[in-house]
Structure 1
Amino acid sequence: MREEKRMYELDCAGVIPGCARVIRADTESEVFSRAVMQARRMGYDRLPAAMLDRFRENMTEVSERSIQAAG
């Protein structure tokens, strides 16, 4: 039996104003890095500490199977 792959995701809605993207990656640090890049693309040169905290708070661990079922 194959072990189910785990991933991490962050739904940017409500975290980065105006963003509707869901960021997924294999590690929490990669999701965090991508979220920072997304915020910069959306005009945030300096990210408030509260936004960085929300990145961490709103990141969730998901299974690959649940992602495929939703997509």
Structure 2
Amino acid sequence: MYELDCSGVIPGCQRIIRAETQAEVFRRAVVQAKQLGVARITPKMLDTMRQKTREMAN
């Protein structure tokens, strides 16, 4: 299980995104960003997502 606290990564986001894979966390984060009006996911935003995504113990 992976987890991303998207506050500080996606403007206006206050969610914690969890999924079985890191790729699914990123996909959900991109969907969340678009719902919050982010028109473009920048390389810096993706780097921050990678840095802040944690693998959780089951």
Percent identity, please.
Answer: 55
| TM-score (norm. length: structure 1) | 0.76
**1:33 correspondence with 2:24:** no
What residue number does 1:69 align with?
A: none
| TM-score (norm. length: structure 2) | 0.92
What residue number does 2:53 align with?
A: 59
| Long gaps (5+) in structure 2 | none
Residues 1-71 of structure 1 mapped to structure 2, 5 A cutoff = 7-64=1-58
The CA deviation at 1:63 is 2.0
| CA displacement, residues 11-67 of structure 1 (integer Å, 9 cap, x when unaligned) | 001111211100000000000100011111110121111111111110000124xxx
Question: Where has structure 1 moved over 2 Å in runs of 4 or more?
Answer: none
What residue number does 1:3 align with?
A: none
Q: Which has the larger radius of gyration?
A: 1
| Long gaps (5+) in structure 1 | 1-6, 65-71
